[in-house]
Structure 1
Amino acid sequence: MTPEGISELISRVALRDRSAFDRLYTSTSAKLFGVCLRILGNRSEAEDALQDIYVKIWNKADRFAVADTSPISWLVAIARNHSIDVLRARKPATAELEKAVGLAEPSLNPEQSAIASGETKRINECLDQLDSDRAAAVRGAYLNGESYDLLAIRHRVPLNTMRTWLRRSLMKLKECLER
């Protein structure tokens, strides 16, 4: 679905249109689930987080400003921030649970693996076009779930500079991926 189509669905969700909400969920849930899973590292927690995220989207759709933000960026930001909040609230796992985590890992089927591989390749090619410090910051924030504060300290820049780096880098990535 195009960004304009997603923006339209968000606008209709703001008016409490349930069919638009269903279509928005169908169109975006896989991407947002991937964000949750990447940050949380736990499929069950990611599924729970995804439900909470769509409740937030339903309640906050009227706050989406079409002219200011890409709709996917807005949705991913909600998913990312919620997942980080879940991560921060997480209680430490017991030693036995930590041992059991690596025993069984769900894997993708061949078709899903091929699609994911192609998307990963495109994203990495676009990330490689960014300055190395900007690419590292984007990977840290959006793939590893690191906070802006931590990234600002690591890259020895003010927090607002880090925000600017990430915003501009995301805009460049968007342009690259749309080509």
Structure 2
Amino acid sequence: MTPQEEIEALIARVAMADRKAFRALYSRTSAKLFGIALRVLKDEAAAEDVLQDVYVRVWNRAGAYRSNGYSPMTWLITITRNAAIDRLRKARREGVAQEPVEIAERLYDTAPGPAQQAEMRDEARALNVCLDELPADRAEMVRRVYLQGLTYQELSDQSGVKLNTVRTWLRRSLMQLRECLSA
């Protein structure tokens, strides 16, 4: 699997609220995205804040990612660059070079609260209902790749199905899931 395919797979898993995939995506991409934010803002603290905002956006919008032949890094870089430019424009409008980080912001607990946990449980239930609508073998493939972390190649080897067929089935299954979840 190419690095591009791995990042696309991680984004797809993030779209299904897979925290392990989110951590992996962060570890693979954060250094480059931080560098981009730093180049635009020229301030490490501001770049860190933008990077945090970027990953919140990625978590919330991963389901909207569509490759369409574009690199997933292009999508992530565009989000980062736009967020950094927006922050820079906001600081200029307010006449502030860069706003200092308040201690309260550093102490803010980012763990999901009870309402967010309930919402995540509802989303998980909806996902399971939609997975049940897929043929059993395809639902199992989706679970093994996007929830258990198998690569396409590992799934192909284990199932005896050709790699390109696995990719096609997974792509079609994800499209069906997206349609089901949006209904």
Q: Which TM-score applies when normalising by structure 2?
A: 0.49
In the alignment, structure 1 residue 82 sits paired with structure 2 residue 89? no
2:8 alignment partner in structure 1: 7
CA deviation profile, 1:26-81 (whole Å, cap 9, x unmatched): 00000000010000111000001100000000000001002342100000000001
Distance 1:69 1:58 in 2: 19
Note if 1:92 corresponds to 2:95: yes
Deviation at 1:23, TM superposition (A): 0.2
Code of the residue aligned with 1:48 in structure 2: it is D
Q: Which amino acid counterpart does residue 5 of structure 2 have in structure 1?
A: E
Question: Aligned runs of 1:27-46 on 2, under 5 Å?
Answer: 27-46=28-47
Name the counterpart of 2:67. 66
Query: In 1, Cα distance between the equivalents of 2:67 and 2:27?
Result: 20
* More divergent stretch after superposition (66-75 vs 81-90): 66-75
Q: State the match for 2:24 in structure 1.
A: 23
- Runs of 4+ off more than 6 Å: none
What secondary structure does 1:92 align onto? coil
Q: Which amino acid aligns with 1:58?
A: W
The amino acid of 2:50's aligned partner reads: A
Within a 5 Å distance, the mapping from 1:148-159 to structure 2 comes to none
Identity %: 47
Once the two structures are TM-superposed, the CA of residue 93 in structure 1 deviates from its matched residue by 4.1
Cα distance in 2 for residues equivalent to 1:68 and 1:2: 14
Structure 2 stretches lacking a partner, 5+ long = 99-183
Aligned-CA RMSD value: 1.7
Q: 1:93 to 1:67 in 2, by over 3 A?
A: closer
Count, aligned residues? 95
Measured in 2, the distance between the counterparts of 1:59 and 1:69 equals 20
The superposition leaves residues 105-145 of structure 1 with CA deviations (integer Å, 9 ceiling, x where unpaired) of xxxxxxxxxxxxxxxxxxxxxxxxxxxxxxxxxxxxxxxxx
Rg (Cα) greater in structure: 2
CA distance in 1, matches of 2:79, 2:56: 11
Q: Secondary structure at the match of 1:67?
A: coil
Q: Could you tell me how far apart the structure 2 residues matched to 1:73 and 1:58 are?
A: 16
- Establish whether residue 51 from structure 1 lines up as the match of residue 41 from structure 2: no
